[in-house]
Amino acid sequence: MVKRRGATADEAFRLQIAEGEPVLYMERAILADAEVVAYSYDAVAIRDLPEESIGEMGKGSVFRAFAKLGIFPVRALAEIHAMSSTEVGWGKGRPKSGLYLLLRQVHFLRDGIPVMASDTYFVEGRFQFIIHRTL
């Protein structure tokens, strides 16, 4: 699902825009081998997007659509949370357990401007994260 709407208070805070400012809101299922591995809820700040490109954002890779527009997020600030919810996801890929690993991110351009806020819920047991930490 893709729709244009006003930013919620949380999205506005994360994207550094005014509450109610237009965003492109997307709900996407992420697949691997035809199986749902995650559900993503994204808000894209559309202040600088050409109107004709907005319809392309919900088709395929969001980052590929950004690249076609010359928009290149270069970093993301992320938080990871384990959670249980019966409100996340849809369809037959939704897990009965309701267990997810939430990757809550804000993607930034090189100049530090936030371009997309994402909440991606990875289905427990269908995706593996490996974190390599160094000192």
pLDDT confidence of residue 36: 93
- Residue-wise pLDDT for 72-93, tens only, equals 999 999 999 999 999 999 998 8
Contacts of 93 (CB under 8 A, 6+ apart): 29, 35, 36, 123
What is the residue whose two structure tokens read 């050409």? Answer: 50
Are residues 106 and 77 in contact, defined by beta-carbon separation less than 8 angstroms? yes
Tokens of 124: 């427990």
Spell out the domain ranges in the chain.
2-123
- Residue-wise pLDDT for 28-65, tens only, equals 999 999 999 999 999 999 887 777 677 777 777 888 88
Pick the closest to residue 105 from 73, 127, 77 (CA basis). 77
| CATH fold group of domain 2-123 | Chorismate lyase (3.40.1410)
